[in-house]
Structure 1
Amino acid sequence: MTWIQSLLSLGCLAAVVGRVASLSGVVENPTAQPWNVSRLADPGSIDAAFSTKTVVDDQGLQWSVWTHVQFTDYALRVTSNSTLCDPNVAQIHGYIDVGIGKHFFFWFFESRRNPSTDPLFLWLNGGPGSSSLIGLFMELGPCQVRAGGTGTTVNPYSWNSIGNIIFLDQPVDTGFSYSDNASAATFTSADAAKDVYAFLQIFLAANSQYRHLPFHTLGESYGGHYVPAVARAIVDNNANATANATSGLLPINLVSIAIGNGITDPLNQYSSYPLMAADTKYGPIVGSDVIATVQAAVPTCLNMIRGCYQTLNSGICSNATDYCNTYVLDGAFVNNRNIYDMRVKCSVNVVDCSDYPMMDDISTYLNLNSTLVSLGLNRTFVMSSDVVYSRFTGSGDWMMPYVNDIPPVMAKGISVLIYAGDADYICNWIGNKAWVLNLTWPGQRQFQNTSDLIWISPSTKQPAGEIRSYDTFNFMKIYGAGHLVPYDQPQVALDMITAWTNSSKYFVKGSTEPSASAASDLSVSRRQGVVWAAIAIVLSSLVSISGIF
């Protein structure tokens, strides 16, 4: 595997979800409300659709196994004996087993605040092939791993400070997930989304206390593919569940999706690499001659991506991936900088520099015998799978236009947050802003004409980023963060997700100014034609957060 493959396998995409409102000017869509289980489903039919039994494995560990009449090839195998990471909250972990030989590992943590009313988050790291436990132990989860992998410490900025969180290792063969045979392999984000949807159905059927909660699908890096695909699977299947209320299918209460430093629309993102390499805030990182060479390769790259979008042909899309990553993405990054954080200069070479030391600590900790025994596992943890990476790039999935799943999701009243740290190169803010401005949807013109607002972190009281928002669509640029926003700016990231999940209290649909009711919480002043917005958000009972990718 080349160095660029190794770097990208860390997870160049992810997804974070918020609520049916925006950070700076969006609330509800009155004509397209999110699904609500209490009004769309027969709870009795859901309870009757699944069954459970108890099994004991060869290590003597007791597992509860849940099955669902609509997903006969799937079984949820869970235990809740672990007190790792955050012993003060309820935990559930285990596998979703699929008959053809797939086994997906997940780890759930209840909210530290109010589990019965706080939102439910699904977190997906990227790669393709990177474990979502990177997010758990390095970015936004309840704990972080100590140096050397000897144990964990509480993360005071964990997103389970405000919500219940599921970390899911997918696609199969990622992290603690595994397959029994070659026929169980997954090659596309669309196919992976089918497994995620089945998991959510059985998990929520088995844990009725979470069914009614606002649900947010979050991701990062290659999560820019995963999150739209999962959201599309949910809204399409919600229609089926609603049409047949006695089927036992649960209309999942999806209210928002969020993607951090993602790769979502390659056609509008790949032209950003020479621009980011030349950007003067943290660079330029290469000379003008290199930038000119890369810029000359951009038209061919975009034509190849355009062919992929038009044909959805695996070979055409795979060829586009090979050419564009070699001559555009990799071509502009020849200096000794961290590809995930341009502020970090490498002392040896780019590959070593772009590895985070904590990644090795996470692998060490998760492969400790004491950790494996506590989780009831007898497998080796794989941080980033070369096999999964090769499957997805070989199938052409990398260049596929999963951006096309976003408008149909928005049409169902689902809010969208796209955020990006300004120091990331590989999934940079320039490319992410380009695709959100070019997205075709009913509010495109208004979104393009909306001003960027300077966002003041309610915790630091300092400018922390910029927001552009119209209706249910939102873009946020985060200052002083690389590819892993919750890792680089943990307090600001928690402020962001808190504002996102509570923003209906502060913002008015389609407005770049605060509503009258929010005037006491939001102060706006204009200086030299720039809108400065100070968002005052009440952050109650903040505890810990850890996670990554």
Structure 2
Amino acid sequence: MRLLQPLLVVGSIISALVNAQFPSSSVNLTTVTSPVDGNITVSYKIPTGACKTAYQNQQQYTGWVSVPGPFPANMFFWFVGAREPTDVLTIWLNGGPGVSSLFGMFTEVGPCEVVEKGLNQYDTVAREWGWDRASNMLFIDQPNQVGFSYDIATNGSMDLFNSNQSAPPQPVPNGQLPATFLNGTFASLNGNNTVNTTETAAMAIWHMLQGFLGAFPQYNPPNNTALGVNLFAESYGGKYGPVFSDVWERQNEKRQNGTLSANKTLEIHLTSLGIVNGCIDDQVQAKYYPAMAINNTYGFKAMNDVRASLANGSIYATGGCLDHIRQCRTAESTYDANNTGQVREVNDLCAQAYSNCYNNVVSPYAESGRSFYDIARKSPDSFPPSTYLEYFNTAGFQQAIGSVVNFTMTSQAVWDNFQATGDYMRGPLIPKLAGLLERGIRVAFIYGDRDYICNWMGGEAASLSVALQAGSVYGSRFTSAGYAPIIVNDSYIGGVVRQFGNLSFSRIYQAGHSVPAYQPETAFQVFARVVLGTSVSTGDQIDLEHYNTTGDAEATHTDKLPDSPDPTCWLRAMQTSCSDGQISMLQKGEGVILNGVLYSASSDWPLATMAPTSTQAASSSSSSAVLTGVFTATSTPKSGGVVRDPQNSFAALVAFFAGAVLLGAGGL
């Protein structure tokens, strides 16, 4: 999108932004042709200084895989080697559809996070509980035109008030603050140059992985070991995860039966699929929207009982949500079984199903004024912090990773395409997850219990449905397994888990939609135990064929919601982070913009009033954490756990870092 430049006075606003920034076309990439497919090229570099890892010897690559297809597709990836040598490879995907996976990398599970170093200055610090602690990590911006992925680099404009993009570049509209209308280089914005269904996206990423793993064979886990490729996907990843995994497994089968050449393709040896607060299948999950709104474990009522009853009734009514889903899927299975998104009648029925279910079942919650992603927070909700959006659009960062386009957090072209085909309602997806279990692949559901939009009640129901469809053993043993505590460390229980064999469902306490951002240590321990095939409860080695958890039949733990903080207005995330009052300030030219954040006065900027601490204290703080290893419980903590406020934790990190900067201690 756009980058920070020297201070610019506009009316009464001091802006750290300028209205034009075009990345350099000289990016020094190394380009190779995939040894397994001559139609695929991989262009990459080492992103020196872009993301500080726990250890300097951790290998990193950023780059683009150009995949074959009906339109140009340059798929961006960021690879980070594990802190300790391992064959484990984990692919992380964010959802949307159309949201960059760098959101997850820089705010949830990646090796580093961005902090403010000073005015127009940023740095990165290693994340203690980054998932590179247990695995090599591969983050992919997909589908095409998302994040740093692009078809044709095209100069254009973006209006931050409404996120509208246009090409060619336009002058700033009369009367509009230049900081809110930005010119740069993007993907083409052409909806014909990206995919329109999860199924077609899955094949694109299969080709992308053929290119990446062909160019970097050392990171393709041997298929004769128990540790292979893991796919973890969040939110719309509830769609991506089952479909991508199923498509990749079918591609493997084609290699085995000779339909695909085994010499010209690579097996993607999938060992586990993790779904983090995923919206999987409304045929199962829809009824848990009104249930979560009025009967959650925090005692918060988002609507009155009458409104909830109406929402629930609309699910089962003639012409209601479930009726529309059935019509969509009947047409899909008859006329578009391969989910090409090219049959208008199917697209229309499935799009209508989404509109019906969303408008009548999901959206009444908006009346509560609470975030769809965290019932504890009032809207707008600016967590996790969007500092990374400013950092990504600095010239130094883009040069380091080799990008010729600015960063696009959410692709409108992808969103529109998926909406038009009704992709959200296509399915069913429960059978695909059951099929993975039947193939011996671990399936883990990981849900924060403060999320509404893909809530844990619906996730639990989906896990039970998967068990029932996976055969009699899972149908009886998983459904009868009790909930055991998730023992995170010697003093903290982070949630509860039901597990039998390769199937687990984890409810994570005091976490919203982006679970690892809220409870990083708990999320990491669950992740590591899933990919290592150990007990999700304790981390112990187990016999997966026979192991099941024991405990309460239901996850009934109750708690209190923390107070809702005031929103932070990030210009590059204006529609989701800024209140009406803050948007009005921007329209009137009031306030101060520092590092992409709107403040009432410059004195409100945290770094403006930061009290210095000693260099010695800063040094010892930065080196006290142990940055490797997975916890294995030897006993159960007596107390059930403590609420950990992620915003306060992040503020403490910023405070420490700023103190070091003020003393000239330099970056961490």
Deviation at 1:285, TM superposition (A): 1.6
Aligned pairs for 1:2-151 (under 5 A) are: 58-59=25-26, 61-68=28-35, 70=37, 72=39, 74-86=40-52, 88=56, 89-99=58-68, 100-114=71-85, 117-147=86-116, 150-151=122-123
Query: Is 2:422 aligned against 1:396?
Result: yes
For 1:489 and 1:309, locate their aligned partners in 2 and report how far apart those are by CA, in whole Å.
37
For 1:393 and 1:530, locate their aligned partners in 2 and report how far apart those are by CA, in whole Å.
34
Q: Secondary structure at the match of 1:178?
A: coil
Q: Secondary structure at the match of 1:105?
A: strand
Amino acid aligned to 2:492: Q
Task: Tell me which of 269, 289, 308 is aligned to 2:328.
Answer: 308
Alignment CA distance shift 1:177-1:457 (3 Å): same
1:324 is matched with 357
Instruction: Name the TM-score, length of structure 2 as normaliser.
Output: 0.65
Amino acid aligned to 2:325: I
Task: Tell me which of 235, 249, 262 is aligned to 1:221.
Answer: 235
For 1:84 and 1:446, locate their aligned partners in 2 and report how far apart those are by CA, in whole Å.
49
Alignment CA distance shift 1:429-1:192 (3 Å): same
Query: Is 2:518 aligned against 1:488?
Result: yes
1:476 is matched with 506
1:237 is matched with 251
Task: Tell me which of 498, 509, 512 is aligned to 2:544.
Answer: 509
Deviation at 1:373, TM superposition (A): 1.1
Aligned pairs for 1:143-162 (under 5 A) are: 143-147=112-116, 150-162=122-134
Deviation at 1:357, TM superposition (A): 5.8
Give the count of matched residue pairs: 461
For 1:149 and 1:298, locate their aligned partners in 2 and report how far apart those are by CA, in whole Å.
50
Alignment CA distance shift 1:364-1:255 (3 Å): same
For 1:540 and 1:484, locate their aligned partners in 2 and report how far apart those are by CA, in whole Å.
22
Could you say which structure has the greater relative contact order, defined with CA pairs below 8 angstroms and 6 or more residues apart?
1
For 2:420 and 2:102, locate their aligned partners in 1 and report how far apart those are by CA, in whole Å.
25
Q: Secondary structure at the match of 1:170?
A: coil
Query: Is 2:318 aligned against 1:293?
Result: no
Deviation at 1:501, TM superposition (A): 2.1
Query: Is 2:383 aligned against 1:369?
Result: no
Which of structures 1 and 2 has the bigger CA Rg? 2
For 1:430 and 1:119, locate their aligned partners in 2 and report how far apart those are by CA, in whole Å.
31
1:186 is matched with 195
Deviation at 1:204, TM superposition (A): 1.2
Amino acid aligned to 2:245: A
Q: Secondary structure at the match of 1:204?
A: helix
Q: Secondary structure at the match of 2:33?
A: strand
Deviation at 1:491, TM superposition (A): 0.6
Q: Report Cα offsets for 1:84-135 as digits up to 9, x if no partner.
A: 2125211111111135211211100000111xx2410000000001100000
For 1:324 and 1:342, locate their aligned partners in 2 and report how far apart those are by CA, in whole Å.
20
Deviation at 1:271, TM superposition (A): 1.0
Amino acid aligned to 1:196: I
Amino acid aligned to 1:288: D
Task: Tell me which of 127, 135, 143 is aligned to 1:171.
Answer: 143
Deviation at 1:182, TM superposition (A): 4.4
Whether the aligned pair in 2 keeps the contact of 1:142 and 1:154 (CA below 8 Å) is: yes
Alignment CA distance shift 1:374-1:467 (3 Å): same
Instruction: Give ranges in structure 1 of 5+ residues lacking alignment.
Output: 1-56, 515-523, 533-538, 544-549
Alignment CA distance shift 1:79-1:328 (3 Å): same
Aligned pairs for 1:332-481 (under 5 A) are: 332-344=365-377, 346=378, 350=379, 353-356=380-383, 358-359=385-386, 361-401=387-427, 402-439=429-466, 440-442=469-471, 443-447=473-477, 449-481=479-511
Amino acid aligned to 1:101: P
Q: Report Cα offsets for 1:475-518 as digits up to 9, x if no partner.
A: 1111111101100000111111121122346222354558xxxx
Whether the aligned pair in 1 keeps the contact of 2:146 and 2:411 (CA below 8 Å) is: yes
Alignment CA distance shift 1:395-1:246 (3 Å): closer
Whether the aligned pair in 2 keeps the contact of 1:197 and 1:234 (CA below 8 Å) is: yes
